[in-house]
Structure 1
Amino acid sequence: MSSLSIEQALDLLAETPKRLAALTAGLTPAQLCASPESDEWSAGEVLAHLRSCADVWGGAIALILAQDEPTIRAISPRTYIRKTDFPQLQFAPSLKAFTKQRAELLATLQPLPPNAWARAAKVTGAGKLSHLTVLSYAERLALHERAHIGQVTRIAATFTKTQA
């Protein structure tokens, strides 16, 4: 059972790129690449991770919508990111690409009838076989991003304090 409604998931997914842009608007390129603490990610690293999750889980959504109950091998976004250049990209173009990708995902999800949100895939490779739906993937993405928005909020506050 989902903890988010379809509308809540859509709202959170739409909000993420806007929040990232607002939180990082006053930061310099150097600050966007800098980690506030040695064991923390930079804003750029958080964005790279979010893009990786969006690729993996958004790709699963697309596959579920394209096929009847596909079997999907679970892919860790942390493994997937190693096959990308996301961590090396400058923040502004990476955020622009993330924003475009999110607009495309929302354009796919927003017109879906309620029964399409219940379409499912069999997911293997992450322990026991599970059945995940379009809504469960959208919810996973939205809630995961919400946690990382909190992280970027703390990163931005660290650099804003040092400028004051």
Structure 2
Amino acid sequence: MNAPLPLAADKPPVQLALDAQLCFALYSAQLAMGKIYRKHLAGLGLTYPQYLVMLVLWEADGLTVTALGERLYLDSATLTPLLKRLQAMGLLRRDRPAEDQRQVRVTLTQTGRELWRRAGGIPEGVLCATGCTPDHARVLKAELEELRAHLLAASAALENPTAPD
């Protein structure tokens, strides 16, 4: 049986308030960022996850699906449908190299390589929408990367707890 909801006079402690949650601040900021990216990416015909795949391939073409997934923090079950859609759009190819048929290598097509020219203004447009200076954006990005590293380490520790002495 569920416990009754607290009455207004019996509010939960402040630390349980929605606006006190770091996770909600990150989540709602991500939603707002997604709206900005949708507007900027509409002209390219890409979704935000597809754009991320293209960003990685524009940096380093010819990665394996495994390497691409590691770079994007995505598993192959999530990444494969993205790659299939980008391949259907004519932006990349997926091939199994003769030297190791277990791997799938992802390479840009000429159309995929040329798309980066049209995408060139997106980072500046998004930065403008944030209201951040370039320096503030770099600091914020570094803080978020540090947060991600701590969360990944904590998650790994929870998945593989060490046995007590």
The structure showing larger relative contact order (alpha-carbon pairs under 8 Å, at least 6 residues apart) is 1
Shared fold, TM over 0.5: no
- Name the larger-Rg structure: 2
TM-score normalised by structure 1 residue count = 0.27
